[in-house]
Structure 1
């Protein structure tokens, strides 16, 4: 139901803000793209996906960056075709195939998700700094500070849960008590065991892995912004009209809007479009829409396509290893 509401809101936003767009001009802007430019966008996408998967390698000892990337790509395509926790099921299967204990792999995957949320809410701080120092400034200071406060609260909560076993147990029992009101089958003791097990798997390398993961994911957001920046340049918008620091600053500042499904598809795009038009003028609307379309195609369809190939290869090798020829 939530997804349906979000889709309806996105449709309303699109019809309200994009209804008067000259779509023939958008098509003309898209036609300026060359094969070499698409390859460049694909190369930056690989950097983005590698950085996105790096926290897995940091929190799961023995996984490595390469396997973390493969796991992340397969999980991405699984999340599209199967409801949660389908992506986690696939991750566990891959971890086991690489000789990694399921509970240790799940703990690392959970921390990967948690760090992503911390980084998502902390991103506006970077955008605020870029726009204040290099750009034209912003009036969204209060919203950015609230977002950063949420990131700090999440980071403190996770730090307490990881560093103190008693706090992790208490947090697990409290969460189970809340969930049990809606699902009577929940076992608080099992949740406590899971919480303390998670804490034991993560605590050893937490102090080293957590800040490095945040740094990697901040670089991932920068790579994501660079894909959009390249798309803007490739469709014909010069740096004089929309400077690079404005693109990067606005991208970071609005990044919490990627919280809805499909990385805020529709909502985030409309906000970026409005902000860029405020910088470069309304005349750039067709080119900006074309650039946002390219960016979405690369960052959403790209990982799905790569994940599909990896999943087929992995499934084929798994079948060979088990003697399954069907």
Structure 2
């Protein structure tokens, strides 16, 4: 597929997702919750509650930046936060993968080598992968321990644990077995050479060798930094759940209606669903999931739940967008200034 065709396909997918978001916002959500009641609930919040949500949102951003800092020795917390904000902004609006390229470019512009930058991006992706897989387990286990589950909850936990082990084994095998990595690198090299012959362009030299050197560096980084990076990534992700819990409490849904374990479970499902966004930023879809899951424990409270979901999205998704735009423009400006001064 040509670059132009791929761009057209991505644009078409984005537009279809945008239409889906409009349909959900205009027809689906109003059919299950009152926008007027939702607005009244939000308007009833005090200034201190809004400031509290803003503070939690900023702490969430800072914690994600700290997790990024740990992926690359020598990277400052500030630059880690800058890279995280840019990546989050791009992930919200453009196809998946662009954020990785921008992270790589940012690291290189700050003086880090190509392999070092690639290793940091890969390590961040690995920790994110493990974190996402662990969220449903954490949510289900919390539901089970709190006694709020049903007879199917232990079964879901067992099946989830098996799936977690199987999915974790994939990157583990790639990192632990050099022979497997070598076979994959050689096959990828043959594939690239085949494509080069088809398009009549010279193939990049020593693809397998360069991939294996990068793999070796990733293994070293993962061995030394993977535990701390994964824990920090998990903490940063769970900070989003704290924002959701605070929003739920601020709109008047107390522990007697929704326990923190139910909020965590709903957050886990919403986060997993966002991995493959059906709409730009998963607008509408995340709100529907939160409304559906939390509505099971708080019947006839749909407007309050939707208000909490909207507040959660404002301070975890909308807040980073303008900050991400500003971060991206700042990085481009400073990079251009450094290039001109050389």
Q: TM class by shorter-chain length?
A: 0.7 to 0.9
Gaps of 5+ in 2: 1-11
Query: Which of the numbers 152, 158, 167 marks the counterpart of 2:165?
Result: 152
- Which residue does 1:227 correspond to in 2? 243
Query: TM-score scaled to structure 2, two decimals?
Result: 0.80
**1:321 maps onto 2:334 in alignment:** no
Within 1, Cα distance between the matches of 2:184 and 2:239? 35
Are the aligned partners of 2:188 and 2:208 in contact in 1 as well (CA < 8 Å)? no
Distance 1:13 1:80, change over 3 A: closer
Unaligned runs of 5+ in 1: none
Q: Distance in 2 between matches of 1:210 and 1:75?
A: 20
Residues 267/31 of structure 1: CA separation in 2 closer, same or farther (3 Å cut): same
Q: Who is 1:247 aligned against?
A: 263
Asked if 2 retains the 8 angstrom alpha-carbon contact of 1:172 and 1:188, the reply is no
Give the corresponding residue for 2:9: none
Matched residue SS, 1:256: helix
Deviates more, 1:256-265 or 1:284-293: 256-265
Q: What is the deviation of 1:286? A: 0.6
Contact 1:232–1:291 (Cα < 8 Å) also in 2: yes
Q: For the residues of structure 1 that align with 2:189 and 2:314, how far apart are their CA atoms?
A: 40
C-alpha deviation, 1:255, in angstroms:
3.7
The change in CA–CA distance for 1:129 and 1:243 in structure 2 (over 3 A counts) is: same
Tell me, in whole angstroms, the C-alpha distance in 2 between the residues paired with 1:209 and 1:80: 28
Q: State whether structure 2 residue 39 is matched by structure 1 residue 21.
A: no
Matched ranges for 1:1-326 at <5 A: 3=14, 15-16=27-28, 18-80=30-92, 82-83=94-95, 85-138=97-150, 139=152, 145-174=158-187, 191-252=207-268, 255-261=271-277, 264-282=282-300, 284-323=301-340
CA contact (8 A) 1:76 1:307 kept: yes
- Deviations 1:170-214 (CA, angstroms, capped at 9, x unpaired): 223445667899995696975533431321222223224222222
The total of aligned residue pairs comes to: 323
- What is the CA distance between 1:10 and its match in structure 2? 5.7
Q: Given the superposition, is the C-alpha separation of residues 140 and 248 from structure 1 closer, same or farther in structure 2, using an over 3 Å criterion?
A: same
Query: Greater CA deviation, 173-182 or 33-42?
Result: 173-182
- Aligned mates of 1:293, 1:312 — CA distance in 2: 27
Measure, in 2, the Cα distance between the counterparts of 1:162 and 1:274: 39
Shift of 1:131: 0.3
Residues 265, 189 of structure 1: alpha-carbon distance in 2 compared, 3 angstrom cutoff:
farther
- Quote the Cα distance in structure 2 between the aligned partners of 1:48 and 1:10: 25
Shift of 1:72: 1.1
- TM-score, normalised via structure 1 length: 0.83
Q: Is the 8 A contact 1:235 1:287 kept in 2?
A: yes
Inter-partner Cα distance in structure 1 for 2:221 and 2:244: 34
CA drift of 1:56 comes to 3.2
CA distance in 1, matches of 2:121, 2:313: 25
CA distance in 2, matches of 1:5, 1:202: 37
Alpha-carbon separation, structure 1, partners of 2:105 and 2:91: 15
Q: What is the distance in 1 between the residues matched to 2:105 and 2:321?
A: 19
